[in-house]
Amino acid sequence: MSLITHWIHGKRVEPSGERTQPVFNPATGEETARLGLGTAADVDRAVASAAEAFEAWSQYPLGKRAAVLFRFRELLAAHTDELARLVSREHGKVVSDAAGEVGRGLEVVEFACGLPHLLKGEYSEQAATGVDVFSFREPLGVVAGITPFNFPVMVPLWMSPMAIATGNTFVLKPSERDPSASLFLADLWQKAGLPDGVFNVVQGDKEVVDAILHHDDIAAVSFVGSTPIAKYIHATASAQGKRVQALGGAKNHGVVLADADLDDAVNHLTAAAFGAAGERCMAISVAVVEDSVADALVEKLAAKARAVKVTSGDQPGADMGPVITAAAKERIEGLIGSAERDGAELVVDGRGHTVPGYEGGFFVGPTVIDRVAPAHEVYREEVFGPVIDVVRVSGLAEAIDVINANPYGNGTAVFTSSGESARTFQREVKVGMIGVNVPIPVPVAWHSFGGWKDSLFGESHIYGPEGIKFYTRGKVVTQRWPHREQRADASFHFSGDSQK
């Protein structure tokens, strides 16, 4: 059985320790490879390689950096199908969905190709007598990314192209559940002409994470994952003096008002709740529905849920694949059971779902739970599975109150035909990303991605303009070139003539 390794200084490197763990195909439940788990010594090797490469890479002309990014973009586009099938085998999501993931990551690469323009500074001539002032931004050094299992391509591409284009070198710690995509990306970076050491991969678990957080030569850490780990990453790395962007979990609400196009809303809610088996931080996991249309919506939503084709992600016509692990399946089914115990109504129950020919797979069927209350466990927890709760409300004001009372603030959406209601909603909800008749409002690459409240720790959102600022720091130069014959004595006063 193959061993999945690190990528350090332009080549695959076996871990220094002996610990390994299995990698599964979630559709079959079969072990497909062993992952070599890294150690602090492996992190040291990767950081040393990145630190050495930084000296030259940070001095590369911007045009040459952009040329590498352009070549990487072309290679990524050319290998999308191959990469999508690899993701489907290890994650379980449908191949077309995995290809869409690659495409969204590709957008960030394309944005990063424009960094020569975006890194231009500012210039103020004659700020004082004979004095000019200008500013520019420089890279930080070695930076690291710790990424989740649900987007093994897209999330690393939210981080690494931005970091690399701005002149940093990068160490990636991918999820141990679907690690192979990280090596595929490393190979593409090398083929694009990226110098050895600029992009490195260290596989592993908490031991590698802690080594990254405490490493003196890592200047910044980017993280996407669950809220408890995001809190830990932010607190630990910040205490070490590092910059941190840490994106946590979510409980995303889709509000359906009585004036909405109900069929359109149900179509979008179905895709947003059950796509990728609900394993998205932007999945709609709660439908907040106005009472007068709730019965009709639940009936339509239940019919759509029952029609979802659940099978292995590589099968023709598949809508939804398995969840990532047997433990995830058990947890999700436990939360579905808790809703029943709490008094909610199981309209469509996805527990015990089996797929002919894939009886060993980690499948949970689409699940619709009506009459859920905020006190119910299935509402309080981030289920991260193909489950949608229906919460009934009297109108827009109560829907906003429900959302604002939730500790998460990642994404939300409203379905309505009223511009007034949409404007009220987008101004009053305490959520970072909002969709109006758009169920999964992930910003395009030239904006930035990030939530509020317990969905984000640290000030910086990811990619886009905030990504540029996160991976760089500013310098301001104040300069004067006096004529020799016009030199004057320096002022002893802060507001002296030299600043007038």
Q: Which of 7, 47, 44 is nearest to 168 (CA)?
A: 47
Rounded distance, CA 198 to CA 8, Å?
9
Which residues does residue 243 pair with via DSSP β-bridges, in sequence order? 220
Structure tokens of 444? 């395009």
Q: Which of 189, 234, 239 is nearest to 50 (CA)?
A: 189
Find tokens 């507001």 and name the residue. Answer: 495
Which residues does residue 138 pair with via DSSP β-bridges, in sequence order? 473
Catalytic residues: 281
The tally of CA atoms less than 13 A away on the side-chain side of residue 331 is 12
The DSSP secondary structure of 89-138, one letter per residue, reads HHH---HHHHHHHHHHHHHHHHHHHTHHHHT--EEEEEEETTEEEEEEEE
Q: Which parts of 364-477 fold into alpha helices (H)? A: 377-380, 396-405, 419-428, 464-470
Burial status of residue 196 (CB atoms within 10 A of its CB: 0-12, 13-18, 19 or more):
middle
CB atoms within 10 A of CB 417: 13
CB atoms within 10 A of CB 487: 8
Contact of 384 with 278, CB cutoff 8 Å: yes
Contact of 208 with 38, CB cutoff 8 Å: yes
Contact of 2 with 33, CB cutoff 8 Å: yes
CB contact set of 288 (below 8 Å; sequence gap of 6+): 253, 254, 255, 256, 391, 393, 399, 402, 403
CB atoms within 10 A of CB 117: 9
Contact of 211 with 221, CB cutoff 8 Å: no
